Structure 1
Amino acid sequence: MIFNRDWSRTELIFIALFVIFYLIYLGRTFWYAYQLKTSARSAALKFFLRSTAMGALIIGLLEPSFGDPERELQAVGKDIFLVVDVSRSMDATDVQPSRLQRIKFELNRLINTYPSDRFGMIVFSSGTYLQCPLTFDRNALTIFIESLNTQMLTDQGTAFQPALEMALDKQSTDTRSNASKVILLISDGEDFSSVNTKTLRAIRRQGIHLLCLGVGTREGSRIPSNGSYVKDEDGNFVRTMLQSESLEKIASEAGGSYFEITSVRNDFPQLSQSIQQIAGRLIDQRKVSITSNRYYYFVILALILLSFDIMITVRTFRL
């Protein structure tokens, strides 16, 4: 038992006064009982009840707590970088309401599923931009996810290599965190560059888990644009299709996994479960006080004892 308050002079004075005056009262009661040749045993019982109740009240005022005074708590988690394709093809509607809108919905669910993990975000088309550094702030992450659109970057086209290089660099240089590292690459798979095998090997060698999510359909669809559809240089409507082979190859060479969202298939629950199965590493540990104040136990005991005291009468003479 631990007291949250220390004994003060005030408590000691009250205890001393209680003992002195009650001993005087008790002595007078026994003296009169002796003179009248009667018994005052009930007075002794009342003294026991009142002194015990007084002691219980004093202990209650000192706010006693029970439990282990300290316990070591450990925080275990992961650092997850979301690498999101924001090229024009992500506006395609072969996955409703559009590829990018569907991804935004799933990402909002993901970040709230793992509150102990840090999330960061990189957006890319042919260029790459750090949208959000690693953070626990879910409100900020939600704002960044909702702000995703295909007009964010002026360069069009899609290039995986710069985005993967940035994600690798951010995960490798963050020496302050000992968390497990995850990169989630999200795209329709249309890559107009080549991915350097050295980058994928570095991801694998450093123990970073690479997950690839393809979104779209193999039949594909046109890309909406200002009430019409995007056209190529010859004036023909552009048709964008899911290129799963490129994403599968990236995942395979980095020792990761590939998942899909199509019009008839949604692997996002499996992807989320894969993240859950990645063992988190120790992020922080600290000792915290976990004792619980139990003053009311003693107050209740005092009230019960005083109730018994009221029911007991002291009689020092007979009629």
Structure 2
Amino acid sequence: MSELQFQYPYFVWAATALVILLLLFAYVLKWKKRVTKRIGQPQLVRAMMRHYSPRRFVFKFIILCLAFLAGVIAVMNLRKPGGNDGIQREGIDLVFALDVSKSMLAQDIQPSRLERAKQFIGRMMDAMPDSRIGLIWFAGKAYVQMPLSTDHGAAQMFVQEASPDAVPMKGTVISDALKESLNAFGERDTKYRAVILISDGEDHDEEALDISKELASRGLMVNTVGIGSPMGSFIPDDSVSGGRKIDVETGMEIISRLNEQELQQIAKNTKGVYVRLENIDHAVETIRDNLSQIATRVTGDTKLMSFTYYFWIFVGLMLVLLIVEQLLPDGKIRRSS
């Protein structure tokens, strides 16, 4: 059941200003007594103050304090989650780490490794509609493209725009992708987190296996998807004659091959599964079945959730109290004889 909550609870500190008001009020009362004593003659003091009401003076001050307190509560913005357009989903936090290095342009899988990977991510998101999605692109370095969100439409747009141009540093460093994936989850509960790493496995860093063990110790599952063929393929490069990437040292055309061993070991270390992306439906089903081992929870994205707000009640109360304080006379009410 949704409970009342304050959107800005830290404004409660403003209520400490009441202490200052109380001290000022105490000083005024003390000053009034001191001035009264200086006058000296009791008869004269009573004559001068015959219409003054100490009780009414205190009562008006109490009204001012209550109005100030109502204003503080209004600023804190009391609200209750819910409403017809509120979003409550049951799922996990899922980060896709996609290799966008030049080797992913190889066409041993049609239309290319990268395009096939995009198709897989789209189908995977469709199969996990209740999960929050995060996106990380990596090559020589990893970058967060979209933090965890329930907005699958935005995620699909980012996926369609993925290309080697998204990461300026060339190469393939899987360890950096794993580190960035862990950072993307923050300090959230480890029971609801998983990564899907998609790459041809041509890693230029040996640290990935060590990082995968650290992720496993934190309860993070990494499922890996290998894309490409062991036979390999040339890497398209329109900037050189012949349209194929050339090794500058040997002058030979570079052939990119799928390296499954590292991807298999990363999945094994984290209790995930490895799948070679040949049939998308089979890959989606295999990984989804493995992800079903992870406990699900109800997640609400407060950026998309609707709320019922109650600040207006306290604003209204504050205004009424201020009007009452202004209309209430300072002295005794004179009754006509």
* Structure-2-length-normalised TM-score: 0.58
Task: Give 2:155's aligned amino acid.
Answer: L
Please name the residue that 1:261 is paired with. Answer: 277
Q: Which of 221, 240, 243 matches 1:228? A: 243
| Contact 2:97 2:135 (8 Å CA) reproduced | yes
Kindly state the Cα deviation for residue 78 of structure 1 after the two structures are TM-superposed: 0.1
Secondary structure of the residue that 2:295 maps to in structure 1? coil
SS at match of 2:166: coil
Q: Residue in 2 aligned with 1:146?
A: 160
Matches within 5 A, 1:239-250: 239-250=255-266
CA deviation digits over 1:279-306, x for unaligned, max 9?
Answer: 313435xxxxxxxxxxxxxxxxxxxxxx
Using the alignment, how far apart are the partners of 1:96 and 1:166 within structure 2? 29
TM alignment of 1:144-293, pairs within 5 A: 144-171=158-185, 173-175=186-188, 180-195=192-207, 197-226=209-238, 228-233=243-248, 234-262=250-278, 267-283=283-299
Distance verdict in 2 for CA 1:148–1:208, change over 3 Å: same
1:90 alignment counterpart: 104
Residue 198 of structure 1: CA displacement? Answer: 4.6
Structure-2 residue corresponding to 1:115: 129
User: Aligned to 2:138, which of 124, 129, 152?
Assistant: 124
Q: Secondary structure at the match of 2:92?
A: strand
Code of the aligned partner of 2:107? T
Confirm or deny that 1:101 pairs with 2:132. Answer: no
8 Å Cα contact 1:217-1:263 kept in structure 2: no
Aligned CA distance change for structure 1 residues 107 and 263 (closer, same or farther; 3 Å): closer
For each residue in 1:190-218, what CA deviation from the matched residue of structure 2 results, as whole angstroms up to 9, or x when unmatched? 00101255522231122211101100000
Return the alpha-carbon distance in structure 2 between the equivalents of residues 256 and 170 of structure 1: 19
Give the secondary-structure state (helix, strand or coil) at the position aligned to 1:200: helix
Q: What is the SS of the residue equivalent to 1:168?
A: helix
Asked whether the equivalents of residues 190 and 218 of structure 2 are also in contact (C-alpha less than 8 Å), the reply is no
3-state SS in 2 of match to 1:165:
helix
Kept after mapping to 2: 8 A contact 1:81/1:182:
yes
* Whole-angstrom distance in 2 between the partners of 1:264 and 1:122: 20
Of residues 90-99 and 249-258 in structure 1, the stretch that sits farther from structure 2 once superposed is 249-258
The 5-angstrom pairing of residues 46-61 of structure 1 reads: none
- Aligned mates of 2:280, 2:145 — CA distance in 1: 30
Tell me if the contact between 1:81 and 1:120 (Cα under 8 Å) persists in the aligned partners: yes
Higher strand share: 1
Question: Alpha-carbon deviations, 1:169-188, whole Å to 9, x = none?
Answer: 222x243x686100111100
Contact 1:118–1:134 under 8 Å retained in 2: yes
For the 8 Å contact 1:203–1:254, the answer to whether it is kept is yes
What is the CA–CA distance in structure 2 between the aligned matches of 1:264 and 1:109, rounded to whole Å? 8
Q: Distance in 2 between matches of 1:78 and 1:183?
A: 11
Cα RMSD (Å)? 2.5
Task: Report which structure shows greater RCO (CA 8 Å, sep ≥6).
Answer: 1
Q: Is the 8 A contact 2:191 2:219 kept in 1?
A: no
Q: Tell me if the contact between 2:92 and 2:132 (Cα under 8 Å) persists in the aligned partners.
A: yes
User: Contact 2:100–2:138 at 8 Å: present in 1 too?
Assistant: yes
**Structure 1 residue runs without a partner (length 5+):** 1-72, 285-319
How far off its partner does 1:113 sit?
Answer: 1.9
Q: CA deviation at 1:76?
A: 2.6
Note if contact 1:260-1:268 (Cα within 8 Å) is conserved in structure 2: no
In structure 2, what residue type is equivalent to 1:253? N
- Higher gyration radius (CA): 1
Q: Which runs of 4+ in 1 moved over 6 A?
A: none
CA contact (8 A) 1:260 1:266 kept: no
Identity %: 30
Aligned residues: 211
**TM value normalised by structure 1:** 0.61
